[in-house]
Amino acid sequence: MVVCTDDVAVLTWEGGRTVFRYHPSTGTIDSIELDHPAQVYPALYCSNFVVSTNSVRYNIAGDDFEILQEESTATPHASPLFDGDRLYATGSGGLQAFDIGVGVRWTHSNDRLVTGIASTEDAVYAIESNAGGGQLVALDATTGDVRWRTDRIGETYADPVVGRHVYVTNAAGRIFALDRADGRVLWTHQTGTRDSRFTVPAVGDGVLFVSDDGSGSVRAVEATTGEIRWETPLYRDEDGQTRTGTLFAPLLTEEHVVVSAGSAGLVGLGRTDGRRRFRAASEPVVSPLAVAHETIYGATPSGLLLVEPSG
């Protein structure tokens, strides 16, 4: 689990108590030990750093890497999210919005688990799930008031993605494009992936970039219509005989779509045409990717992987 800014990359593993900090300018790594294991992905913004564990949310200073606050909370099922100087996080009271340096701005309570969060300047989109299925709720970012909700998406546990529309992948591998204003379903796209965490699309330049674990391919989908622009199969062997599996969610750099492709390593495709531009296969990457200044970061079984794309 990796998050990064221009000045630092932070690395931890789900269930781990050690958080590592990498300084790109010097290449040095230091660490801090927590009393509880990390439960979801950490969040990082400027000098603010948050790690949510099974019972405590840690606020950590980014400059001296010391724990500033420990707040008891219920087990989170969604990673905390910074949007500028506002933090969205789940806890005992439900979904909460915190203004950094001030405190809780609002709390949205419900009888479901919040399993995914996305935000814009004026709205927060949250996935709420229970045994009966899932729903997407749109909240006012300032007040926390409900603007609309829909249960059309079915069971899902992944973060939504916001672009021209709101995009949600459900547990059956179907991607839904919903109108940001009222939650209407505008189009859907079926993938062969059955773990919605791995099928979270990346959005850029009016295109959704989707990893499809079922077909072992990456495709570019028009964000407004759902039509396929290009599709590229990924292979675990150099002679192109066996398609890979275990595709993580794609990451966008200025020129590339980058995917962690299990035994095929890290694969970079051209954003415009899907052609393979580079491959880094030193170790399998076991986390979604993060990027800062065109350097790609990922977690491997032995530590932190750094890749600077070429080609």
Instruction: Evaluate if residue 220 carries a pLDDT over 70.
Output: yes
Q: Name the more confident of 41 and 98.
A: 98
Q: Name the more confident of 260 and 14.
A: 260
pLDDT of residue 149: 94
Residue 264's φ and ψ, nearest 5 degrees, are -80, -5
Q: Which of 6-20, 96-110, 149-163 is predicted with the least confidence, judged by mean pLDDT?
A: 6-20
Percent residues over pLDDT 70 in the chain: 91
Q: Could you give the CA distance from residue 91 to residue 112 in angstroms, rounded to a whole number?
A: 12
In order of their start, the domains of the chain are 1-77 (2.40.10.480), 234-311 (2.40.10.360)
Confidence of residue 83 (pLDDT cuts 50, 70, 90): very high
Confidence of residue 198 (pLDDT cuts 50, 70, 90): low
Instruction: Evaluate if residue 120 carries a pLDDT over 90.
Output: yes
127-172: per-residue pLDDT in tens? Answer: 998 777 789 999 999 999 999 999 999 888 889 999 999 999 988 8
Residue 212 Cα to chain centre, angstroms: 16
Mean pLDDT of 58-64: 83
Q: Name the more confident of 189 and 196.
A: 189
Confidence of residue 48 (pLDDT cuts 50, 70, 90): confident
Q: Could you give the CA distance from residue 274 to residue 41 in angstroms, rounded to a whole number?
A: 29
Percent residues over pLDDT 90 in the chain: 36
pLDDT of residue 190: 92
pLDDT of residue 87: 92
Q: Could you give the CA distance from residue 38 to residue 58 in angstroms, rounded to a whole number?
A: 10
Confidence of residue 81 (pLDDT cuts 50, 70, 90): very high
